[in-house]
Amino acid sequence: MKGCPWEDRVEAAVNDARLDADVGTHLEDCADCRALAATIRALRIDGEAAERGAAARLPDAGVIFAEFGTRTESRPAGDRAAAAVHDALRAVVMVEVIAAAVAAFVTLGAAAWGIRRLGSVAGLDFERLFQFGNGGGGNGEFGGTALVAAAAVILIAALQGVLGLRLDSGSDSAGL
């Protein structure tokens, strides 16, 4: 998206309230720049009005500074407690992530082994029914099962990671 090449010059001239002859002549010819100048001027007038309206509503600077002083004095003990809780929660989340990943891997591995075992006991050919890979049996099923297990572990770990991030961003973003 491109505007008139004079836009920067017009913008600066209106901002500084100094319209030289060239800019004045251009404004007569260019509707876009006329609209730009008018928009900036309208905003500035509204801004001046809003600032005048704000003056009556502003609290005294001393009140805010006193509030800051009060908060600072009562902060250390509260901050230490909050930091300890936060650290403990982070540790819990990390342990939960690792435990979930291990549990998922073990469960899926046991299930795959169990199915194959059941098939061999019952005389059913589960390997052909559930095979994923190259159709030739052998390592195809194992590769497929391992792939599903790995995907499940990654998914669970990712979900846990999201939960962990949510925990970290529990406070609002305004503190920067």
Partner 1 sequence: MPASTVAPMTEQEFRRFYDETAAPLHAYLARAGGDASVADDVLQSAYLRFLEAPGRSADVRARRAYLFRIATNLLRDRHRREAGLARRARQAAVEPGRAGPGPDRVAEREGVSIEARLEVRNVLDELGARERELLWLAYVVGMDHREIAAIVGVASGSVKVLLLRARRRMAAKLEARGVGPEDLA
Verify binding: residue 128, partner 1, rule CB under 8 A.
Answer: no
Verify binding: residue 78, partner 1, rule CB under 8 A.
Answer: no
Instruction: Pick the closest to residue 10 from 46, 42, 44, 39 (CA basis).
Output: 39
Stretch that binds partner 1, among 33-41, 108-116, 123-131, 135-143 (CB under 8 A): 33-41
The answer to whether 153 and 101 have CB atoms below 8 angstroms apart is yes
Verify binding: residue 53, partner 1, rule CB under 8 A.
Answer: yes
Structure tokens at 165: 């991030």
Q: For partner 1, which is the closer residue by CB, 123 or 175?
A: 175
Verify binding: residue 83, partner 1, rule CB under 8 A.
Answer: no
Which string of b and e fits 124-141 if b means at least 16 CB within 10 Å?
eebbeeebeeeeeeeeeb
Of 101-120, which residues contact partner 1 (CB under 8 A)? Answer: none
Verify binding: residue 19, partner 1, rule CB under 8 A.
Answer: no
Verify binding: residue 18, partner 1, rule CB under 8 A.
Answer: no
Cα dihedral angle (145, 149, 113, 101), rounded to 10 degrees?
170
Verify binding: residue 73, partner 1, rule CB under 8 A.
Answer: no
Verify binding: residue 49, partner 1, rule CB under 8 A.
Answer: yes
| Contact residues for partner 1, defined by CB under 8 A | 1, 3, 7, 15, 34-59, 61-62, 64-65, 67-68, 71-72, 172-176
